[in-house]
Structure 1
Amino acid sequence: MGIPKTMKALVAYGKDDYKLELEYPTPQCGQNDIIIKTEGCGICAGDLKCMHGASMFWGDEMQPAWVKTPFIPGHEFLGEIVEMGSNVKKFALGDRVVPEQIVPCGECRFCKSGRYWMCEVHNIFGFQSENNGGMAEYVRLPDTAVIHSIPKAMKLEEALLVEPYGCSKHAVDRGNIQCDDILVISGAGTLGLGMVTYAKMKNPAKLIVLDLMDERLKRAQEFGADIILNPNKEDIVAKIMEITDGYGCDVYIEATGAPASVVQGMKIIRKLGRFVEFSVFGKETTLDWSVIGDRKELDILGSHLSPYAFPFVIENIRNGNLKTEDIVSRTFPIEEWEKAFEYAAGKYGDFKVAITL
C-alpha cells in the first residue's frame, strides 16, 4: 500500500493565518530523500511567536522575512521511514528516526568546518516551504538533514524531548561546568529542566534553579536542583551572595527570555564568571556593559541549537539518566491544533504540549 497523494497538514499562509488542510499535497521523495510518517510534533515557543507575527520570523524595517510561505510548522518531530530515495543507504524502511531542527546546506564555511548548526543559509524545519515541518502526516527529510535513529521501544512522550533536550545539553556544555562550580540556571520550563537534569550529571558543587512559578521549581528539585529560589518571593542577589561567600555564582545560564533575568544574572555572577545566554527575547535588553568588561571580565557565551547532542540525549533518555517524567503533559490530535497551541502557551501550567498524527 503506497503513500496517499494528500495528507492532513497545518499550513501557515501568513501572520495569524494558519489553517488545517485535510487534503494538502504529500511531499514527493527524491533520489536522496527520506519520507517519514509523522508520529508526533512538539510545539515550541518559537512556533507560537511565529504564528503571532514576531518580526524575527516575518521581518520588519530592520530585518528581512525569514519564513517562506506557505509552510508547515514544527521542528520537534519524529516518525517512521515509509519511503526512501534510491541513493539513501544509511537507513531502512520502518526505521524510527528524529531529525535535528536545522537543514544545513553542506556548502558554506560553517558546514565545511563541521559547525553545521551555524550554517550560513540556516534553513530550519517548519519555517520554509522547501523544509516543511512535523505538523503534518508526512515529512520529507532532504539529503543534508541530520537524522538519528531512535529506539522503537522509547515512549512517544520521551522521544518528543530529544530535540529540546539536545538544545539544553548544548547550553550546559557551553558553560563548561566543573565539579567545584556553583551553577545557576534561570528558568525551569521544558528547556530549563532539560538543563537541570543534564547539569546534574556534571556534578557541580551546587545547582541552583530560579523561576517565578513554584510548580516549576518543585519539578526542578525533583530533577536534581540542590537549591530552588523564586525571585518574586526572595532577594535573589542576597541569597546567592550568602551561598557563595559573597563572590557570586561561577556559571549563570539564562533560559527565560526575560530582560530582568539578564540583569539579575549580571548582579549575581562572580568576577571571571561564565554567562551563557540561551533564550530568544521578545524585546531589547539594556544593561551596563562595563560590568562585562571593566568590572568583572566575564565570558559571555551564546548557545544555539543542539550540535552533536542527539546521540547522547537519546541514549541517556533511554537509560534513565536524563529525567523526563511528566514533561510532555498533553498531546492533541492535529484536528485540535488551536487548542494545542493555546495550552502550549503555558497558561494552564503545562511544560511541553505536542500534536499527534
Structure 2
Amino acid sequence: MKAAVYYDIGDIRYEELEKPEIGFGEVLVKMKSCGLCGTDVHKVLHKTVKPPVVLGHEVAGEIVEVGKDVKKFNIGDRVFFAHHVPCFTCEYCRKGHYTLCSHFRETNIYPGGFSEYIRVPIDNVKHTMHKIPENMSFQETSMVEPLACCLYGVNKLNVRYGDSVLIMGAGQVGILFCQLMKFLGASKVIVSDISTYKLSKAKEAGSDEVIDVSQEDLIEGIKKITKGKGIDTAIIATSISSLLKDSVKCIARGGQILVFSPFDINSTVAINSKRFFNDEISIFGSYSSSPFDYDIAIKLISEKRIDVNKMITHKIKLNELQKAIDITTDTKQNSLKIIIEP
C-alpha cells in the first residue's frame, strides 16, 4: 500500500509500505478522507516525533477486513474511529479526565491516517468506532474528531444562554467553536485574528463581531463591544501564549477562560492573580477528546447543526501531503481546512 511517510522537516515521501495485518477484534479500514490537523503541522515543522512515521488521525473510511469476534461492524461499512482510547478504570478515568489516562497516549491506529489502509486496534474498535449516516460524506466525517475535541472543551465550561463569548483565533478550531457557541445560545460571539480571510470565514460561520488585531487593540475592542463589562467566556484557539494574559484582561467578573490550543513548552505568562479572588475568574485547560463526544459530534454534523462543508477549502491527494503542509503554513494562501484523499 502507499503512504505519506514523514522523515524530516521538508522531507515527506510517498512510498510503499506493507499493508497491515489485523488480529483478534481488529478492523482494517481503507482511508477515504483524512483531515490535516494543526498538531500534524506542528509535528512536521518542529520534528517533535521520531521519524520515519505516518501521521494523520482525523480519519474516515470503509471497512475492508474484520477480525474474529467483531460483531458490530461488517465489510463495506462507512466508519469513523479515533486514534486514542482511555482505559476507563484508572483514577483519572474515574474522575472523567480521560485524556490524562496513561493508556490514552499509548493507544493508536497503525500506521496513521495518511496511508491507504489503517489497522484499527480492538480497544479503538470497541470504544471509538461509529458507523456514519448515509447523508454524511467522508470529508464531513473527517471533521468529527476536531469537533469532538471542541465538545470536550465546552463540557468544562458553564456557558449559559445569552452569554458573550470571545474566540481568539479564526482557524478551523476557532470556526468550530464559533458555531458551537451559537448553537448553545450565546447572544454575542466575537472572533479575533490577524487574517482578513479567516475573519471573513468567522462571519460566514455566524460570528456577531470580528476584531482584526492587526488593526485594532483587542482589549479596547472588547471594552467597546461589551460597554466596559467584559466578556463572559474566552476561548484561546491558537497557540500564542500571550493571549492568556489578554484573555484575563478581557473577561468580566465571574468569567471563564478555556485554554484549548497548546502553548510552547517553555512559555511563561504573567497574569493578574488578584482576579481569581476579587473577580472569581476561572481558567480551564483542555486536551483532545473523550469517547463520549464522538456520537454527539456525528449527530451535530449529520443534522447540519454544525456546517463543516464551508470550512473545507482544499482537497489534496495523499501523494501531495507536503504541498498541503506548504499551503496551510503560507499566510498568503487562503486556506482553512485541508482534507487529504487517496
SS of 1:153's partner is: coil
Tell me what 1:300 maps to: 283
In structure 2, runs of 5+ residues without a counterpart are: none
SS of 2:309's partner is: coil
| Structure 2 counterpart of 1:313, from 297, 309, 318 | 297
Contact 1:124 1:131 in 2 (8 A): no
Please list the CA deviations of residues 244-297 of structure 1 after superposition, one character each: whole Å capped at 9, or x if unmatched: 332211111100111232221111112221110000123514223524534533
Displacement, 1:171? 2.4
Tell me what 1:139 maps to: 118
Q: Distance in 1 between matches of 2:260 and 2:274?
A: 19
Please list the CA deviations of residues 293-314 of structure 1 after superposition, one character each: whole Å capped at 9, or x if unmatched: 3453321111121222221221
Q: Distance in 1 between matches of 2:151 and 2:330?
A: 23
Tell me what 1:61 maps to: none
Amino acid aligned to 1:298: I
Query: Residue 220 in 1 paired to residue 211 in 2?
Result: no
Deviates more, 1:9-18 or 1:214-223: 9-18
SS of 1:52's partner is: helix
Please list the CA deviations of residues 153-176 of structure 1 after superposition, one character each: whole Å capped at 9, or x if unmatched: 322332221111222222233222
Greater helix fraction, Structure 1 or Structure 2 = 2
Displacement, 1:105? 4.5
Tell me what 2:269 maps to: 286
CA separation of 1:340 and 1:35: change in aligned 2, threshold 3 A = same
Q: Distance in 2 between matches of 1:105 and 1:137?
A: 28
SS of 1:220's partner is: helix
Tell me what 2:313 maps to: 329
In the superposition, the TM-score normalised over structure 2's length comes to 0.90
Displacement, 1:14? 5.4
In the superposition, the TM-score normalised over structure 1's length comes to 0.87
Deviates more, 1:102-111 or 1:74-83: 102-111
Please list the CA deviations of residues 122-170 of structure 1 after superposition, one character each: whole Å capped at 9, or x if unmatched: 3377xx7x74211111001101112121124322332221111222222
SS of 1:228's partner is: strand
Q: Distance in 2 between matches of 1:122 and 1:18?
A: 27
Contact 1:79 1:96 in 2 (8 A): yes
Tell me what 1:29 maps to: 22
CA separation of 1:212 and 1:71: change in aligned 2, threshold 3 A = same
Amino acid aligned to 2:214: N
Aligned residues: 336
1:1-357 equivalent positions in 2, closer than 5 A = 7-13=1-7, 17-22=11-16, 24-54=17-47, 57-58=48-49, 69-105=51-87, 108-111=90-93, 115-123=97-105, 131-145=110-124, 146-282=128-264, 284-307=267-290, 308-347=292-331, 348-357=333-342
Q: Distance in 2 between matches of 1:81 and 1:19?
A: 26
CA separation of 1:109 and 1:124: change in aligned 2, threshold 3 A = same
CA separation of 1:124 and 1:74: change in aligned 2, threshold 3 A = farther
Q: Percent identity?
A: 31
Q: Distance in 2 between matches of 1:333 and 1:174?
A: 37
Displacement, 1:89? 1.2
Amino acid aligned to 1:160: S
Contact 1:178 1:204 in 2 (8 A): yes
Displacement, 1:354? 2.0
CA separation of 1:112 and 1:71: change in aligned 2, threshold 3 A = farther
Across the aligned residues of Structure 1 and Structure 2, the Cα RMSD in angstroms comes to: 2.2
